[in-house]
Chain A
Amino acid sequence: MDVGLLAQYVMNGLMLGMMYTLVAVGFTLFFGVLDIIKFSHGDVLTVGAFTALATYIGLRSAGVGSTPLLLLAMLVVAILAMAVLGMLIARYLVMPLRSAPALNTLLITLMLGTVLRELVRLFYPQGANPKPFPALLPTASINLGQFNLRLDNALMLAAGGLAIVGLQLLLNRTKLGLAIRAVAQDEETARTMGVNFTAVVLITFAIGSALAAYAGIMNGLYYNEINFGMGLYLGVIGFAAAIIGGLGSIYGAILGGFLFAALQTIGTVALPFASAYKDVFAFTVVIALIAWRPTGLIQEKISERV
């Protein structure tokens, strides 16, 4: 195969992987802190993307024309709004159910995801139709043979990488990060050490949801389109990626995200029927991986109270 074509595939895979990773990291953060799976994460991404679009439309009609300013405003508004939404979800829906069986939390977040999706579909004007998302990044491109390197893709890749690196730094180098990791390890001991449990949980949810908004905007910029169902698909893939990487480990989420994207891309290239079977292939491999390593590739340390 032509090197340029290969490079194109690699680039596609990297972009997808970056988006999946951003979602998977969110899942892993929530699990680490509260031992729950917040399934509405994907739909928070959708709401974030629509918030950004609404901001854009609002600002445009108010006469703002400068692209960097628009982009900045969209990012700020969406991220803040989703952070608040995340905190509300944590406070009113997730924390009250901490003593209930895990299935209840799983179901309640799944249903919440449905509620968010339906709210967008019903109450955003013409929500059921796909909406064009403005292309706000420079679209210059360099042609290297068969490979078309676009500036906006490169920028998004870099931005995604920065977000993940930033998160790592936050978790490993700051006091807040220390508190988050403490709570993730052992809630009771962290509390006796003076860590404000509720505050840490709320902040973690805020961070995760902010990342979701970020991923949503990236998704919109990449495909130039958003629709109310985009979160469901991304959410499930993010969940799968977080799981095969091993819940509770950021590195696992990154690994899982890029692995899933790689599986999809390999499925596209290797199988003869274009991309038709790529999801079937990817999910089959996921199931096989889970069968082989029941707690993910980067093993979660499980101890059970008997």
Chain B
Amino acid sequence: MSRIARQLSFIFASALFVGALVATAQAKDKVKVGFIGPLTGGVSANGLGGRNSADLAVKLRNADAKAKYEYELVVLDDECKPNVAVQVATKMAADKEIVAAATHYCSATAIATVDVYHKFGFPIIVWGAVLPDITYRAKYAEVHRVNGTMINQNDANAALISKIGFKNVAVIHDTTDYGKGHNEYFSKAFAKLGGKIVGTFGVTADQQDFTAELTQIKALNPEVIYFGGLTPIGVRIRSQMDKLGIKAVFDGTSGIVSDAFIQGLGPLAEGSLAFREGAPTEKLPGGKFFMENYAAQKYDNPPEAYGAFSFAAMDLILDSIEKVGPDRKKVIEELANVKARDSIVGKVTFDDHGQNTVAVITKYVVQDGKFVEWDDSEYATGKRKLPGQK
């Protein structure tokens, strides 16, 4: 019995084996494109918004009868952690079927993965990370970016703080390259305008307790606390500031422009400053088109701050594939020639490092539970005053 049974099981296994081979050998006329973003974790709202936007771009293209290929979006989650990002980036880039991808919201992850994309010759367009080094550290033909870098953002930040009359600032930043970048550019810009940085504190991206740093900051008595980091710790720092009775202005970056920031703090968020490259989504050239189509798809999450950029990035990728076919090398060559290309975020031009220039910087202040543009706010007119503003 056992001999026959053994033979049978061997045949069975071989049959399965062959079946497996057959299943994987099916012909494909689909083209796969990728998306990587933080779908879980503290900044998942931005990641999900970006994913939905990229998905919208693919859906609209698939609905277009003139498109040459049928596109499939492969989505991977980088959890806003550099090591996970490298793993998923390797996975996506190693998969020969995926032609190109729109990647990363978190700068920490984007800077970690540029070498991976270069190693595999995989073209990508960054849609939400603002660290300049991502495109400028090395000249990789594979790496492009549609959104702006943090340099302009921090220039505008320093300028506003200076204009209001604040001279002493304490800096808290997270120790990833993102926070360190913000610290570097803001400190330089602020010092140039004659301001004084009374203290700089580095904190880890998942730190819970800031009483130590904040107690030291309290002793230094700054007028403004500048925070270079993302929403989860922004929320914690702001609420612990209140617990310790620190009455400085909370000045953040694009990392806190998210509904999660306001939801996490409630009334404490009032009077917080933030800055972001690009006009608010509604004021973008293609903003209305984007918002209408986005709403029509009935996604669970809003596009958040960088959804429009994700859409633009994916659209560019799809345009390139339409033009030159699903070939990584040809797509890289095509993306190198992007000059004054129209997109929903305005005209996109990639410089020799693949970086697009976004001139407009939007200044936000939280007023009555919403991010309001500074110039439209009651703080600018003087009706309300920031803590310590004269």
- Please state if A129 and B42 are interface contacts (CB–CB under 8 Å): yes
Q: Is B229 an interface residue (CB 8 A)?
A: no
Nearest-neighbour CB distance to chain A for B311, whole angstroms, equals 24
Bound-state CA distance A291–B88 (Å) is 41
CA distance A264 to B244 in the complex (A): 19
Question: A74: shortest Cβ distance to chain B, in Å?
Answer: 18
Query: Is the CB–CB distance between B212 and A5 below 8 Å?
Result: no
- Report the nearest B residue to A11, measured CB to CB: B211
Which chain A residue has the least Cβ–Cβ distance from B202? Answer: A276
Contact with A along B232-250 (1 / 0, CB 8 A): 1001100110011100000
A2-B219, A5-B215, A223-B209 as given contacts; A129 in contact with B239, CB under 8 Å: no
Instruction: Tell me the bound Cα distance from A126 to B45 in angstroms.
Output: 10
Given A2-B219, A223-B240, A225-B264, A274 contacting B201 (CB threshold 8 A): yes
Which A residues are CB-close (under 8 A) to B40? Answer: 128
Number of A-B contacts (CB under 8 A): 76
Provide the residues of chain B in CB contact with A224, threshold 8 Å. 239, 243
**B389: CB under 8 A from chain A?**
no
Is A233 an interface residue when CB atoms closer than 8 A count as contact?
A: yes
Which residues of chain B come closer than 8 Å to A273, judged between CB atoms? 202
B203 neighbours in A (Cβ, 8 Å): 274-276
Evaluate contact between A233 and B208: CB separation under 8 angstroms.
Answer: yes
Identify which of A126, A150, A229, A276 contacts B243 (C-beta below 8 A): A150
Q: Per-residue 0/1 for B38-52: is the Cβ within 8 Å of any A Cβ (1 yes, 0 no)? A: 001110110000000
Is residue B205 within 8 Å, beta carbon to beta carbon, of the partner chain? no
- Check A225–B260 contact: CB distance below 8 A: no
| Residues from chain A with Cβ under 8 Å of B245 in the complex | 141, 143, 148
Contact between B44 and A12 (Cβ–Cβ < 8 Å)? no
The answer to whether residues A16 and B41 also contact, given A223-B236, A225-B264 and a CB cut-off of 8 A, is no
Alpha-carbon gap, A268 to B240, bound state (A): 17
Q: Is A132 an interface residue (CB 8 A)?
A: yes
Shortest CB distance A152–B (Å): 9
CB atoms of A129 and B41 under 8 A apart: yes
Residues in B with CB closer than 8 Å to A130 are: 42, 232, 235-236, 264
The reply to whether the CB of B9 lies closer than 8 angstroms to some CB of chain A is no
Q: Which of chain A's residues have a CB closer than 8 A to the CB of B207?
A: 275
Q: In the complex, are the beta carbons of A274 and B202 less than 8 A apart? A: yes
A117 at the binding interface (Cβ < 8 Å): no
A200 to B218, alpha carbons, bound, how many Å?
50
CB of B293 closer than 8 Å to a CB of A: no
Residues of A within 8 A of B87 (CB): none
Contact A16 B209 (CB under 8 A): yes
For residue B263, CB closer than 8 A to chain A, the reply is yes
Give complex CA distance A223, B211 in Å: 10
State whether B219 touches A146 (Cβ < 8 A): yes
Report the nearest B residue to A267, measured CB to CB: B212
Per-residue CB contact flags for chain A residues 204-233 toward chain B (1 = under 8 Å, else 0) read 000000000000000000011100011001
Most buried by B among A153, A224, A269: A224
Interface status of A278 (Cβ within 8 A of chain B): yes
Question: A residues 103-155 with Cβ under 8 Å of B?
Answer: 126, 128-130, 132, 141, 143, 146, 148, 150, 153
Tell me if A8 is interfacial: C-beta within 8 Å of chain B: yes
Chain A nearest Cβ from B206, distance in angstroms: 8
Does B337 count as interface, using CB distance less than 8 angstroms? no
Alpha-carbon distance A34/B42, docked complex (angstroms): 38
A9 CB–B CB distance under 8 Å: yes
Q: Does B216 touch A at the CB level, under 8 Å?
A: yes
**Docked CA distance A126–B264 (Å):** 13
User: Contact: A274 with B232, CB < 8 Å?
Assistant: no
- Assuming the A-B contacts A129-B44, A225-B239, A230-B208, are A12 and B215 also in contact, with contact meaning beta carbons closer than 8 angstroms in the complex? yes
- Name the residue on B nearest A234 (C-beta): B208
Residues in chain A near residue B263, CB distance under 8 A: 132
User: Do B208 and A132 touch across chains, with their CB atoms under 8 A apart?
Assistant: no
CB-CB < 8 A to B202: which residues of A? Answer: 273-274, 276
Question: What residues on A are CB-neighbors of B208 within 8 Å?
Answer: 223, 230, 233
Which among B42, B216, B232 has the highest number of chain A CB atoms within 10 Å? B216
Residues of B within 8 A of A150 (CB): 243
Docked-complex contact A274 and B213, CB < 8 angstroms: yes
- Which residues from chain B contact A12 at a C-beta distance below 8 Å? 211-212, 215
Interface string of B154-194 (1 = CB under 8 A from A): 00000000000000000000010000000000000000000
A residues near B216, Cβ cutoff 8 Å: 274
Q: How many angstroms from the CA of A16 to the CA of B206 in the assembled complex?
A: 18
Instruction: Report how far A265 CA is from B211 CA in the complex, Å.
Output: 10
B198: Cβ under 8 A from any A Cβ: no
**B204 & A276 in contact (Cβ 8 Å cutoff):** yes
Most buried by A among B203, B210, B215, B244: B215
Within 8 A of A (CB), among B233-279: 235-236, 239-240, 243-245, 260, 263-266
Given A141-B245, A225-B264: A128 in contact with B215 (beta carbons within 8 A) = no
CA distance A146 to B263 in the complex (A): 30
Are B240 and A275 neighbours in the complex by a CB distance under 8 Å? Answer: no
> Which residues on B sit within 8 Å (CB–CB) of A143?
245
Complex CA–CA separation, A132 to B175 (angstroms): 24
**What residue of chain B has the Cβ atom nearest to residue A141's Cβ?**
B245
A29 to B239, CA, bound (A): 34
**Are A225 and B236 closer than 8 Å at their CB atoms?**
yes
Task: Give min CB distance, B366 to chain A, whole Å.
Answer: 15
The residue on A at minimum CB distance from B38 is A128
| Chain B residues closer than 8 Å to A278, beta-carbon distance | 212
Q: CB distance A128 to B44 under 8 Å? A: yes
> Contacts A141-B245, A276-B204 known; A129 to B215 CB distance under 8 Å?
no
18 contacts between A and B (CB under 8 A): A5-B219, A12-B212, A126-B44, A128-B40, A129-B42, A130-B232, A132-B263, A132-B264, A143-B245, A150-B243, A223-B236, A223-B239, A223-B240, A225-B235, A229-B206, A275-B203, A275-B213, A278-B212
B-side residues, CB < 8 A to A, are 40-42, 44-45, 175, 201-204, 206-213, 215-216, 218-219, 232, 235-236, 239-240, 243-245, 260, 263-266
Q: What are the 3 closest A-B residue pairs judged by CB atoms, nearest first?
A: A268-B212, A275-B212, A148-B245
17 new A-B contacts, CB < 8 A, other than A12-B212, A274-B216, are A2-B219, A12-B211, A128-B44, A129-B45, A130-B236, A130-B264, A148-B244, A223-B236, A225-B235, A225-B236, A225-B264, A230-B208, A274-B212, A274-B213, A275-B203, A275-B212, A276-B204
